[in-house]
């Protein structure tokens, strides 16, 4: 597949979302034209204000229900690339359908529209997650793009709603991504475009989206807020996560658009593993006041259980994992202050 270079047109779904807004920004900065989808015009006002200076290189289109057949038929017309970021991310589900249906049907809906109406389309980039890659483990493991989180899907099949919100989310990402690859395989003779999947872990960094109250914070940034405001037990502070800076994750989408070798690939992007105690240690190093200290330095020298291989991101997209965690903490705290969140008033 040929490289897709500016001023090619990109469709960014769920354009008002935390990561999507950054993806949209990076595409525009790189010289692409962008069409963003939102569920209602009321959700696009801040986008119009923020990106109005790009003139006719930026437009918004309403897609009210991404799960409906034909929902994206008009949106995909005339675009060269699709960056499908619209998929729910939260741990509040009480029933599997809360996440499974929008995640899977939203993905197959846009691919069906791309098949039928994407005559100019050359590449689809799906935002998945390492949730679709890594499984629970009690011994150190290195996960790469050949791995799938089938264990979460099996737990969901066995326990249903009793599997819990976390398993429902993990399964939703696995099922949605598998649905995309299965769609491409089933329609290979008909499609003129290829698929790239970006698999990020928790995404940290300042938001470009309105979030007037703490309850409006996106799920990944809420991890930082809750940790720095003391809403973590000692055991939770010793837990591990993996993270990527929001700027790195968004740039990955742009580079996946013009990287010839990216077609047909899953690509893990991350800035590194971390312990939640490390968020507090970073805050202490930065001199941020009124933040709990937990058990300073208690995670030093402890091996990470879940490790992610990022060779593809480095070789295909030229991405490195150089961003320090404390930079994301510092930027996030400044963002919290600017929004006047409790505990971080300016």
297-315 pLDDT per residue, tens: 899 889 999 999 999 999 9
For residues 215 and 187, give the distance between their C-alpha atoms in angstroms, rounded to a whole number.
Answer: 41
Calculate the CA dihedral of residues 193, 199, 205, 207 and round it to 10 degrees. 50
pLDDT at 346 over 90: no
Entry pTM: 0.95
Q: pLDDT of 97-106, one tens digit each?
A: 888 888 899 9
Average pLDDT, the chain: 93
Residue 75: the pLDDT is 97
Side-chain-side CA neighbours of residue 221 (13 Å): 26
- What would the mean pLDDT of 205-233 be, rounded to a whole number? 94
Which domains, from first to last, does the chain contain? 9-339 (3.40.50.720)
The reported pLDDT for the residue numbered 3 is 77
């Amino acid at each position: 597949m040929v490289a897709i270079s500016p001023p090619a047109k990109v469709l960014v779904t769920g354009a008002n979302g935390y990561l999507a807004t950054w993806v949209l920004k990076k595409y525009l900065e790189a010289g692409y034209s962008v069409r963003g989808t939102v569920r209602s015009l009321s959700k696009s006002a801040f986008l119009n204000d923020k990106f109005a200076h790009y003139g006719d290189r930026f437009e918004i289109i309403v897609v009210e229900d991404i799960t409906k057949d034909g929902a994206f038929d008009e949106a995909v017309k005339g675009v060269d690339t699709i960056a499908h970021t619209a998929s729910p991310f939260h741990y509040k589900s009480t029933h599997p359908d809360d996440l499974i249906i929008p995640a899977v049907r939203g993905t197959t809906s846009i691919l069906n529209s791309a098949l039928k109406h994407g005559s100019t389309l050359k590449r689809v980039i799906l935002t998945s997650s390492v949730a679709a890659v890594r499984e629970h483990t009690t011994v150190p493991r290195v996960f790469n793009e050949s791995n799938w989180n089938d264990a979460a899907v099996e737990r969901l099949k066995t326990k249903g709603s009793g599997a819990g919100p976390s398993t429902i989310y993990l399964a939703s990402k696995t099922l949605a991504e598998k649905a995309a690859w299965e769609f491409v395989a089933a329609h290979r003779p008909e499609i003129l475009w290829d698929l790239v999947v970006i698999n990020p872990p928790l995404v940290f960094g300042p938001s470009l989206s309105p979030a007037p109250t703490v309850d409006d914070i996106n799920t990944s940034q809420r991890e930082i807020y809750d940790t720095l405001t003391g809403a973590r037990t000692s055991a939770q502070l010793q837990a591990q996560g993996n993270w990527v800076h929001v700027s790195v994750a968004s740039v990955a989408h742009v580079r996946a658009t013009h990287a010839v070798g990216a077609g047909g690939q899953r690509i893990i992007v991350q800035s590194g593993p971390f312990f939640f105690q490390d968020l507090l240690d970073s805050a202490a190093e930065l001199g941020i006041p009124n933040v709990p200290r937990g058990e300073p330095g208690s995670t030093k020298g402890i091996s990470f259980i879940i490790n992610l291989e990022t060779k593809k991101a480095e070789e295909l997209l030229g991405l490195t994992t150089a961003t320090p965690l404390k930079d994301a903490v510092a930027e996030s705290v400044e963002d919290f202050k600017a929004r006047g969140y409790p505990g971080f008033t300016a």
